[in-house]
A and B are shown apart, each in its own frame.
Chain A
Amino acid sequence: MAGTDAIGAGSAQAKRGGKMARKKVRAPWLERYSALLLAAVLLGAWQAAVPLAGLSEFVLPTPLAIATRIVGELPLLANHAYVTLFEVVSGFAMAVLIGIPLALLIFYSRAFERAIYPILVALQTVPKVALAPLLVLYLGYGWAPKITLAFLISFFPIVISTVVGLQSLDKNLVYLVRSMGANEWQTFFKVRLPAALPNIFGGFKVAISLAVIGAVIGEYVAAERGLGYLQLQANSLFDTTLNFATVVAISGLGVTLYFVIDFIESRVTYKRDSAK
């Protein structure tokens, strides 16, 4: 009797197990494309909702109308995108060229760290956007104030992430290479820098997105070209579709630059957790 009971319990458990297993059944196809699918559903809902709600294109254009407009205005968008791209990349490059050496000074000199850190943090609390009108006042209407704003806004994350990356190194690794006779120069290039690269690239990714914001805000304040300028033009002409098209172009610019950095990172670093 006990034997049959046990068997009965076992099969009941198997049934429950079967139910759970069914719940966890996976559709690889669905998992792979789930993000695209959701985006498509949301855009579809938007597309359908605009006529259903009786909204005019002037208030809220449909995704299809925006896409069509983007294709139609490609040369115009590209012309302005080049300007913004130049400002973003220049500002970001400046932030790297000044931020990394500054981070090295902070890392290697305790006195410099003590002197500069309070100033850096104080500067960081100033909303950079509030400086835009001043920058225009000092630097004029050209690309200079936009690059400066992109630089100012993207500089801090690069400095901080580089310093943190360098400081978080296991001290024993330094002892290890010293025991092999390494000088500080070798210690830096063989151990400190490679170990800090994931942090540094993390800072770059934050910084490049911020640089786009900096450049566009700069263009909002005063400009003759650039995506921010184009958007203001569209706004003043009540051309909502072009307005949306510009927004898409600005995000496209940011996303592209982000993935460029992501690609460079994948070339120069080995991810610790990317076990096959």
Chain B
Amino acid sequence: MSKIEIKNVYKIFGSNPDSVLPMVKEGASKEEVLEKTGHTVGLDDVTINIEEGETFVCMGLSGSGKSTLIRHLNRLIDPTDGDIIVDGTNVMELNEKQLIEFRKHEMSMVFQRFGLFPHKTVLENVGYGLEIQGKEPEERKKLSMIQVESVGLQGFENQYPSQLSGGMQQRVGLARALATNPQILLMDEAFSALDPLIRSDMQNQLIELQAKLKKTIVFITHDLDESLRLGDHIGILNGGRLVQAGTPEEIIMKPADDYVEAFVKDVNRAKVLRAKTVMIKANEFNSKDIKLADVYKVDESSYIEDFLPKVLADRCTVMVVDKMGDTKGYITEKELAISLSKDGYNLK
């Protein structure tokens, strides 16, 4: 069973969403609904399964419903129709009290503009979740201090958020979310408000933390590079509909429609595609064509950019091996050309 199951969720904004629901279910487009009824379709039949311990990136442009979707997971927004099941609990069936308990322990959230409390110090901000849980001040302080240190903000714990830079503020936000030790982390465009260098820093920090903590992370972004870098799986939303969900390789190699294709066309493929994705399987490849001396061995999970210079310089064939050293397949210049060009699949 998946950690989070989002089942056929619809969200319609407007004065009387239920009356519009049948129309949306019959497949009316967002524009049609808006014109005929004045209601805005936020989410249209979204079904996603998110596995435990993975980073699921939900991507889309502004207005695609991605921020709406993430707010459904802890029910900051109630869906018009559909079910959200977290850890086997149907979030939709919780009453107010249960919902509060659920939010206290199951998941926490990081916000785009940080959402820090300006009247609390860094330490108090980080300890907010614990305060709500009713932990004693002493314990709260101890636990928050550990988190403050884990994001590298020691020495700043008695400052106020407005005295920190954007990147530092978001680290406070991250520490605050981690302090309650939730299983699930919701990150709503968490790094979008930061400048590029800091953003890349924060991404690294998140990847590092995730390697240690193995949380289930739902990450929202409008930045494809960010989603490819962080995501184990990526879901692409357009106009409230989920257009495609899959691994980064799947998204790049097999875009489901024009929208996704337009999205991925400027991506640096060498950075995203792995050897095992582009190789020709060993049994399909005529190994007599190459001399063994020209072969360069790479691990199946390495990126193209890792071995591309070597191939170009030495004109050698790449032999893809798995961790045990067994040959899985081969990559020649032809495969590289196909996988790196935008119209690669047309060439075939």
Chains A and B come from one and the same complex: no
